[in-house]
């Protein structure tokens, strides 16, 4: 099946997810995220630079957006709501179902699970809305 993907919409969706993650992890949930992770801001600052981490995230977001756009096109979805529904199903079936047990085995809290995967859920919902509506 031959489908065309709107790559401009893919880039917009990927950048929207970067903005969501920034707000999510630096403004909304910074303190409980660090507590759940068991690290301080200083410890995180010794890791990759903000530029390196952002570049890695944008690359991952682009891959995720292309995959989601491909699914939306091949399923014949044409609305923001359909894209959001697909994003929610992907989150539940692939993100929560995989990360949940991993976090349980690693003894991370349920709060930490919802903070980290919640950002992915919101990102997939927004990405699905953008890609579902903008084809």
pLDDT tens-digit map of 75-117: 999 999 999 999 999 999 999 999 999 999 999 999 999 999 9
Whole domain around residue 81: which residue ranges? 16-133
pTM score: 0.93
Is the distance from CB of 96 to CB of 117 less than 8 angstroms?
A: yes
- The pLDDT, as a whole number, for residue 1 is 54
Give a yes or no: residue 104 inside a domain: yes
Is the distance from CB of 72 to CB of 134 less than 8 angstroms?
A: no
Instruction: State the total domains in the chain.
Output: 1
In this predicted structure, the answer to whether residue 135 has a pLDDT above a threshold of 80 is no
Give a yes or no: residue 5 inside a domain: no
Transcribe 42-55 into DSSP letters: HHHHTSS-HHHHHH
């Amino acid at each position: 099946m031959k489908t065309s993907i709107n790559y401009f919409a893919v880039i917009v969706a990927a950048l929207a997810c970067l903005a969501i993650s920034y707000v999510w992890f630096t403004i909304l949930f910074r303190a409980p995220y660090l507590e759940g992770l068991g690290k301080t801001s200083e410890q995180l600052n010794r890791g990759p630079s903000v530029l390196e981490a952002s570049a890695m995230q944008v690359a991952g977001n682009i891959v995720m957006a292309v995959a989601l756009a491909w699914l939306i096109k091949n399923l014949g979805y044409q609305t923001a709501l359909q894209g959001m529904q697909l994003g929610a199903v992907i989150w539940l079936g692939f993100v929560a179902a995989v990360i949940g047990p991993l976090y349980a085995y690693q003894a991370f809290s349920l709060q930490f699970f919802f903070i980290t995967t919640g950002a992915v859920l919101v990102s997939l919902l927004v990405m699905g809305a953008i890609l579902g509506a903008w084809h």
